[in-house]
Amino acid sequence: MNIADLRKSYEKAELSEDASHADPLQQFDQWLKEAIAAEVPEPNAMTLATVGSDLRPSTRVVLVKGYDARGIVWYTNYQSRKGRELAGNPFAALQFHWVELERVVRIEGRVEKTSDEESDAYFHSRPLDSRIGAWASPQSEVIESRTVLVTNAAKYGAQFLLKPPRPPHWGGYRLVPDTWQFWQGRKSRLHDRLRYRLDGGAWVRERLAP
């Protein structure tokens, strides 16, 4: 097999200016709901890209946990690599890739922490094991073995029992978009690609060459 010969013809749908929403959030809401209805695996999974003080970019997959006119929300360890990078450079990019629908959504903007109230509410909605896990994992730090995680989980499980509080190093982030891109695969690599950018507080929709 020659990996250079791997290719796919994209022919499932199209994306036109007339058929898309003027508001990118509405367009995103429609596409996400269609991905959920199509039973795409983990439709809420998105790649998060950040840049550190050394100007080296890094990516990881996180799960979107909410979105509205204020922005796109996910939760994580503030002391992780992404947390440290966002503390120094509060801008990021998100990408959803719904392979089965031949669609990609890219979102860029400034990142801020959610309120303590929002973070508390979501934390306490999580399964108990996940709440304990937030205490047990020193995310992005070097550990000797998996035994460290298991031991920490047992320790905090015994300490907090059924009511672990939200760790002070754990909470939400909200990306406030200033740019959206919607990509729909098309035949012959002539893909549809619409960009929405803020201009004077209003969204401008324009087509980009693929």
Catalytic residues: 189
Provide the 3-class DSSP secondary structure of residue 169.
coil
Closest by alpha carbon to 194, among 25, 186, 184, 26?
Answer: 184
Output phi, psi for 189, to 5 deg: 65, 15
Q: CA 53 to CA 207: how far, in whole Å?
A: 33
Cα 91 to Cα 42, 83, 108, 177: the distances in Å are 25, 11, 8, 10
Burial call 142-163: b when 16+ CB within 10 Å, e when fewer? eeeeeeeeeebbeebbeeeeee
Show the tokens assigned to 36: 């959920």
